[in-house]
Structure 1
């Protein structure tokens, strides 16, 4: 049977236009590849646009280090739109809260400047693959997309299974890796986390936008409250516009996105956290339930939420379709906390991210293509209602968890990376998704332009090093280093050496590596191991030279 001829071709095709997809497309284009970015919805941006959640979840060092030049440029451009205001919305959950329209403008302009071809309103429906190689992907409008390398950045991890690659959903189970936060026993694919269908609301004091009770309001009413069960086992109590009874900041400013009148906030709270459904296998049913729950929450806020003056309800809350970019003020798509995850030889587990006594970083994972950091943030899972908040240490993105088992030209580029459910819950937030996508995009471009299989990053040390050099040249950190910024001429050398284990000696105890200080005995041993990993002569490690100079010596 004849196959359709490709109608769109590129070096790299990124399928899925969330933050991971955008970052992948930008990284691949920056590396010199021709890039097509496909998004099923009306706009790119995912969490910060169509999911109406532009209150960035990030690590505590984001303002000073631990972010790529590309991610920092995104944040800086958003702030420039607001005249340099550090946190335009003033939401207390994040250092940077802003409006979805601004995010869309910034991302569209950045992609256009990078000459990325963007196709919206289309999603993959079929993939023609053989021997681990995807030849082309057919989209919903009949477009046939061909590329040397494909990146799966879809919200649910759709492309990998379409092309015949194995994926997992839900929990691997505690028996698989001994993770204490996995569900007990064997794998449970149904144990997916709750999701949220966000909505944007404005506050108009004195107005009344109350309407009839929505569907299932009486059934859902018992779930609706300002109070939430805390990760610490207690109940956290909040009020609408003032500090709560136990001193917690106001509900309204939690994820406030606009601080000028009319103020704008996104509803993403425990009360509209929708659990017990299957947003991957039954998206229509799950999404209907998610919208019903958020509609009930809006009605409760307008009519029954306790006021500071002793009354009930805030009728001046108006759903904001203009801000959401939709007809009704609800997000265009749900905020999903997990997707299908690719199967790899060895997934990242919760153990890999855990704090280690005497170390400032999580355990060293070979083949780093980037950094990110967030706690393990597991919301209620179907059949397992208890949430999990687990501290982690700063961690990295190892190259091999982007490559599906058996893949020749497919990479994971979002929260579908090869990680367990527990570990993926720390990678999934805004900065993590961007960092994963950026790593995948750089790898995709190098594989496409050099005509190499993507698995070479796992099997060929020279190819891995070439990808890592591409990344550091673009200002992407490969290790957690607090005191060597991108404008330091030693940035590339320090991060390449650190990614190969050069800070696994005395320097492991602190994120500052003090490049001008001489190495100790354990540092010298780590530098020699890093030299071997980099293909350099370990005898280059001169104990009389400073650490930074030695790092430059072994990566030349």
Structure 2
């Protein structure tokens, strides 16, 4: 095996990994970024999920580089797509006009923008990117990672990488697991955290559902019915004890009341935020933005409750069981599509099925038609110097206090409700109001390891607070700070632990984040005191 050496190794090229690379590169460091799929971007690309963002995202609530990404997506559509003049002129153009986000877009566009942001650093080999590459071993000496062995999937070739800092930006916290780093999976208990909505006792196998998303369009009058999935008969009849209807149906569960909610495919084309039918919910291409006849159909992204797979976890189980659940998630998603094509009650009168629904694997970059990777809501998390609890951000848990707890070591901000999807142990939604919050640096410092940093959803949060720290702009912020912290530590001869523990070093780092990288460290007063409601 060949050995390669870098200043910083970032394992995982998802949303946080890309942001980490950008920050470290801007601060002058040489970086290797590895990614298990052949697309960087994670949630934004290979998982195909339009960004879930805070209500003030157009004005405040993200880092400067994330805003550059958002602006880049809009600029890409204006430059490359034949938009109508009125759409082109929209300052806050929403390419898909989806109701879930102010910026619903195609995964390939996000990929192009991210590649563009990184391109200048690849040109001079300050940045290397290894795609189709996953970690298979981590070598540790005391409190430091000394090497990471990675494997190129198609060839099976292995390489050893050494770096002064290693950032875990994988979707499931794989470096933490391989390196034996103190970490947590699943749900903590109230006896550990005191959180009002925590389980009474810890359950590591209580994890949020995963989803295998897919894109589709609709060509009425045509037949694009897929082959009947192997597990279709099971999913067609399956209903969880906690769910108000069958898995394959238009009967959904209200995240707060847990009562039945009817939401079909086309029956209510209301485009108000979170309103309307499922078609408009996560639509990623809206043909109304283009001249008549340019596109035959909208394209929508299926990330709906019907494809939440909760029959078993993917963390804390052996490889065979993990693969069984991944296969189950694939089968569930294809079964929903087949059901919609053949048996779903129609919105426009008697009859069943929409055979004109067409799976768009070209949009997600796959031959099988689904996204390249599962949408992961919950990762393995470090045991950190500081852990964010519900009592620090939840409106109900804060009692009469106003706003989230403020942190002297803030390295960013975020805003979203605490949103936990049904779990692999049969617990229904946990969806509760939260305050706009800060990201404390202490949540990025492992209790023991000195040259490892989390750069995704694997920071020091709990199963509960992960519900508001897991969204796209927050993961980006976490990754950006991890990359900046590693580079800053190398540039100044300090350690991440010293940066947090020494007031003068912390002030210097926070100034670097705010003044050089454009990271917002605190909320304006008007937003800070406005809670993010539940669904």
Say if 2:135 is the partner of 1:124: yes
Secondary structure, in 3 states, of the residue corresponding to 2:358? Answer: strand
Aligned equivalents of 1:453 and 1:323: distance in 2? 43
Partner of 1:263: 298
Aligned equivalents of 1:19 and 1:142: distance in 2? 25
Q: 1:58 aligns with which of 50, 53, 60?
A: 53
In the TM superposition, what whole-angstrom CA distance separates every residue of 1:73-119 from its partner, at most 9, and x where no partner exists?
Answer: 00000011111551101111111100011011111111112443211
Aligned equivalents of 1:399 and 1:431: distance in 2? 17
Q: 1:283 aligns with which of 305, 322, 339?
A: 322
Paired residues of 2:214 and 2:361 also in contact (CA < 8 A) = no
Q: 1:178 aligns with which of 187, 190, 194?
A: 194
Partner of 1:528: none
Aligned equivalents of 1:218 and 1:80: distance in 2? 45
Matches for 1:88-103 after TM superposition, within 5 Å: 88-103=95-110
Partner of 2:242: none
In the TM superposition, what whole-angstrom CA distance separates every residue of 1:30-69 from its partner, at most 9, and x where no partner exists?
Answer: 122111111111110001111111x110111101111111
In the TM superposition, what whole-angstrom CA distance separates every residue of 1:257-283 from its partner, at most 9, and x where no partner exists?
Answer: 111233211111111110021212343
Partner of 1:224: 248
Say if 2:452 is the partner of 1:452: no
**1:508, CA displacement in angstroms?**
7.3
Farther off after superposition, 375-384 or 97-106: 375-384
Paired residues of 1:375 and 1:391 also in contact (CA < 8 A) = yes
Paired residues of 1:237 and 1:244 also in contact (CA < 8 A) = no
Give the TM-score normalised by the residue count of structure 1: 0.83
Q: 1:317 aligns with which of 342, 350, 357?
A: 357
Q: 1:166 aligns with which of 176, 182, 186?
A: 182
Paired residues of 1:153 and 1:412 also in contact (CA < 8 A) = yes
Summarize the Cα distance change of 1:127–1:211 in structure 2 as closer, same or farther, 3 Å threshold: closer
Q: 1:112 aligns with which of 103, 119, 128?
A: 119
Aligned length: 481
Partner of 1:155: 171
**1:337, CA displacement in angstroms?**
0.8
List runs of 5+ in structure 2 lacking aligned partners.
79-87, 152-156, 238-246, 288-294
Summarize the Cα distance change of 1:288–1:509 in structure 2 as closer, same or farther, 3 Å threshold: closer
Paired residues of 1:367 and 1:399 also in contact (CA < 8 A) = yes
Aligned equivalents of 1:257 and 1:304: distance in 2? 25
Secondary structure, in 3 states, of the residue corresponding to 2:284? Answer: strand
Secondary structure, in 3 states, of the residue corresponding to 1:6? Answer: strand
Aligned equivalents of 1:480 and 1:299: distance in 2? 46
Q: 2:521 aligns with which of 478, 502, 510?
A: 478
Paired residues of 1:410 and 1:454 also in contact (CA < 8 A) = no
Secondary structure, in 3 states, of the residue corresponding to 2:281? Answer: coil
**1:452, CA displacement in angstroms?**
2.4
Aligned equivalents of 1:371 and 1:284: distance in 2? 36
Aligned equivalents of 2:133 and 2:226: distance in 1? 35
Secondary structure, in 3 states, of the residue corresponding to 1:457? Answer: helix
Partner of 1:41: 37
Aligned equivalents of 1:150 and 1:112: distance in 2? 22
Secondary structure, in 3 states, of the residue corresponding to 2:25? Answer: helix
Say if 2:208 is the partner of 1:193: yes
**1:360, CA displacement in angstroms?**
5.7
Summarize the Cα distance change of 1:239–1:167 in structure 2 as closer, same or farther, 3 Å threshold: same
**1:164, CA displacement in angstroms?**
2.4
Paired residues of 1:400 and 1:457 also in contact (CA < 8 A) = no
Aligned equivalents of 1:266 and 1:411: distance in 2? 32
Secondary structure, in 3 states, of the residue corresponding to 1:307? Answer: coil
Aligned equivalents of 1:479 and 1:39: distance in 2? 32
**1:510, CA displacement in angstroms?**
7.7
Summarize the Cα distance change of 1:442–1:164 in structure 2 as closer, same or farther, 3 Å threshold: same
Secondary structure, in 3 states, of the residue corresponding to 1:125? Answer: strand
Farther off after superposition, 33-42 or 67-76: 33-42
**1:385, CA displacement in angstroms?**
2.4
Matches for 1:490-505 after TM superposition, within 5 Å: none
Paired residues of 2:435 and 2:530 also in contact (CA < 8 A) = no
Partner of 2:3: 6
Secondary structure, in 3 states, of the residue corresponding to 2:416? Answer: coil
**1:384, CA displacement in angstroms?**
3.4
Matches for 1:72-91 after TM superposition, within 5 Å: 72-83=67-78, 84=88, 86-91=93-98
Partner of 2:145: 134
Paired residues of 1:165 and 1:405 also in contact (CA < 8 A) = no
Aligned equivalents of 1:172 and 1:228: distance in 2? 27
Say if 2:270 is the partner of 1:249: no
In the TM superposition, what whole-angstrom CA distance separates every residue of 1:154-185 from its partner, at most 9, and x where no partner exists?
Answer: 01001122222111100011211111221222
Secondary structure, in 3 states, of the residue corresponding to 1:123? Answer: strand
Secondary structure, in 3 states, of the residue corresponding to 1:266? Answer: strand
Bigger-Rg structure (1/2):
1
Aligned equivalents of 1:145 and 1:288: distance in 2? 31
Partner of 2:84: none
Measured on the aligned residues, the alpha-carbon RMSD in Å equals 2.0
Paired residues of 2:252 and 2:260 also in contact (CA < 8 A) = yes
Paired residues of 2:404 and 2:436 also in contact (CA < 8 A) = yes
**1:482, CA displacement in angstroms?**
6.4
Say if 2:32 is the partner of 1:21: no
Matches for 1:267-346 after TM superposition, within 5 Å: 267-280=302-315, 281=317, 282-310=321-349, 311-346=351-386
In the TM superposition, what whole-angstrom CA distance separates every residue of 1:475-502 from its partner, at most 9, and x where no partner exists?
Answer: 110111269xxxxxxxxxxxxxxxxxxx
Partner of 1:526: none
Summarize the Cα distance change of 1:352–1:482 in structure 2 as closer, same or farther, 3 Å threshold: closer
